[in-house]
Amino acid sequence: MISACGNPRLLIFSKSLKLNPNMKNNLFAEFQKVSKDEWVNLAIKDLKGKDFQKTLVTNAPDGIDLFPFYTEEDSHDLGFLKKFRNRLNVPSEIPGTGPRFWSNVHAVRVNDEKADNKNILKALMGGADALLLDLKGKVDFEILLSEVDVRYIEVYLRVENEITERTLDFFNWMERSDFSNNDLKGGLLWDPMTSCLESKCLKQDQLDIAEKLLQIGIKFPSFRLISVDAAHYHDCGASPVQQLFLSLGGYIELMDGLTDRGILPVDILKKTILQGAAGSDFFLEIAKLRVFKIAFFELAILYKEDFILEDVKLFASSSYWTKATSDVHTNMLRNTTEAMSAILGSCDALWVRPHNEVIDEIDSFSERMARNISNILKEECYLDKVLDPVAGTYFIECVQAGIIDKVKRELQILEEKGGWWVNFENHQLQDLVKAARYTRLEEVKNAHKVKVGVNKYLLQNEDPKNALENWEEETWQLLPLRDGFLIEFPNLEKK
């Protein structure tokens, strides 16, 4: 038998490269180490006189600079992030699956229990393993969830009004069923503070509801009842740092109010779920969502020392803010990159919104496409085969560090100004987000930011469909919007 080295062609090839016999143990032994400054100087040389900073450095929101490359030198001061690598997600315990698991969420706007039940069963057979039930009124869960085995899925609730009553209805159905209380997994997507940005409410009323929910939900240890909703700020046009420090600032307000009533911090923390949205800035969104978990964990351990990172759960969605009503099918491409950001950003549950949601034409096709994005990223792109693919990457961790610093600084400033509720009542919080929103709207309107199908490569003779013709926002409100709004409605006045 002839070995590889007995092949004359391979011998000639190896001699020409002067291979080190120990190369198999150290593949980089023959390469000279290059410093960051040397890389920068080489780039400047290739730019032929152009400014490196202006040409190759991207100025992201919140004053975060994204460089064209990062090296080991950039990570020298990021040792504190090492303890979070490969820990932002709990390895899957399901036999035969990859270590990285996230739930594929199917959303249902409940109107007709019988028809919606058929939709739910079809979705679960088609790859979904979590439900988001959007409840506007009283629901017959016996019909809605008939033949649904909650032992193998997660259930999330989003309630428009009478939150305590509707949640109690759901719990009562669970107790009447053949399932154990421990079988129920998921959560109520309700942020007591952030919800005040849409409909008027009193702080004490929100605390009363939260306290009541914590009391009635104690029987269901794996069902969370309070969310920290950064997704709402995202869909209102807030910057990444604003999304995090404002949602966390509201949670601090809630924690202070509930602990003053004698509720233990641990009882609140274990019933909390994070709620985020992934936008179109791929790498920045990955870093933002990872920071969301890290920042919440560091906040949590201030209340309880033995709180563990693996207890932090993140429900992530694709973005409403980035979607377009013109050339609506391009939203499927946006959904795909946003879903990747959410997965790499450590989400535990992923809701890909239907691409035609913005024109109120959700159908079985758009729902299937939304489910399949998550399925394809798992089954064909193998994103479930590695627990934490971006752990230790210089780029992501440098951006994470920048976001963490700014979030901590802004949280400190918010507290110095009296906290979330004071800033909400004097509208400083709303004005801050609206200023950031208007800047981003102008970027799309003036084509400083390219948006396919909106300000670039427009479809000819397309009949525009707008679902927000009567959109109005009070000074105290922050309502979801889209970044192409000024093009859809050019006469919109600055608010």
* Structural domains of the chain in order of their starting residue, each with its CATH number: 4-80 (no CATH), 93-402 (3.20.20.240)
Task: Tell me if 353 sits within 8 A of 317, measured CB to CB.
Answer: yes
Residue 49 has what DSSP assignment? T
Instruction: Name the packing angle between helices 240-260 and 428-445 (round to 10°).
Output: 160
- Looking at residue 465, its pLDDT comes to 63
Q: Along the 495 residues of the chain, how does pLDDT read in single tens digits?
A: 334 444 444 343 344 444 455 555 666 677 788 889 999 999 999 998 899 998 999 989 999 999 999 998 998 888 899 999 999 999 988 888 889 999 999 999 999 999 999 999 999 999 999 999 999 999 999 999 999 999 999 999 999 999 999 999 999 999 999 999 999 999 999 999 999 999 999 999 999 999 999 999 999 999 999 999 999 999 999 999 999 999 999 999 999 999 999 999 999 999 999 999 999 999 999 999 999 999 999 999 998 878 899 999 999 999 999 999 989 999 999 999 999 999 999 999 999 999 999 998 899 999 999 999 999 999 999 999 999 999 999 999 999 999 999 999 999 999 999 999 999 999 999 999 999 999 999 999 999 999 998 988 888 777 666 556 667 899 999 999 999 999 887 765 544
- Looking at residue 17, its pLDDT comes to 44
- Looking at residue 491, its pLDDT comes to 60
Q: What's the token pair of residue 134?
A: 């959007």
Task: Tell me if 65 sits within 8 A of 395, measured CB to CB.
Answer: no
Task: Tell me if 243 sits within 8 A of 288, measured CB to CB.
Answer: yes
Kind plus residue range of the DSSP H or E element containing 340:
helix 330-344
| Rounded Cα–Cα distance for residues 396 and 394 (Å) | 6
Q: What's the token pair of residue 416?
A: 């110095």
User: CA-CA distances (angstroms) from residue 490 to 333, 446, 461, 469, 483?
Assistant: 26, 11, 19, 12, 13
Query: 379: helix, coil or strand?
Result: helix
Task: Tell me if 20 sits within 8 A of 29, measured CB to CB.
Answer: yes
Query: 447: helix, coil or strand?
Result: coil
Number of neighbouring beta carbons within 10 Å of residue 7: 12
Instruction: Name the packing angle between helices 203-216 and 240-260 (round to 10°).
Output: 70
Task: Tell me if 299 sits within 8 A of 269, measured CB to CB.
Answer: no
Kind plus residue range of the DSSP H or E element containing 432:
helix 428-445
Total number of residues shown for the chain: 495
CA dihedral 268, 256, 401, 347 (to 10 degrees): 30
CA 462 to chain centre: 32
Amino acid in position 317: S
- Looking at residue 463, its pLDDT comes to 66
- Scored b (16 or more CB within 10 A) or e, 202-212 reads ebeebbebbbe
**What residues have CB less than 8 Å from 456, skipping those under 6 apart?**
447, 450
Kind plus residue range of the DSSP H or E element containing 387:
none
* Cα–Cα nearest to 325, from 334, 317, 316: 334
| Rounded Cα–Cα distance for residues 442 and 302 (Å) | 40
> What sign for the dihedral angle of Cα 224, 227, 228, 229?
positive
* Cα–Cα nearest to 193, from 135, 122, 275: 275
Q: What angle do CA 316, 318, 319 make, to 5 degrees?
A: 115
Task: Tell me if 483 sits within 8 A of 445, measured CB to CB.
Answer: no
- Looking at residue 10, its pLDDT comes to 39
- Looking at residue 3, its pLDDT comes to 40
- Scored b (16 or more CB within 10 A) or e, 447-467 reads eeeebebbbeeeeeeeeeeee
Q: What angle do CA 188, 237, 354 make, to 5 degrees?
A: 55
Q: What angle do CA 422, 426, 430 make, to 5 degrees?
A: 100
| Rounded Cα–Cα distance for residues 148 and 166 (Å) | 19
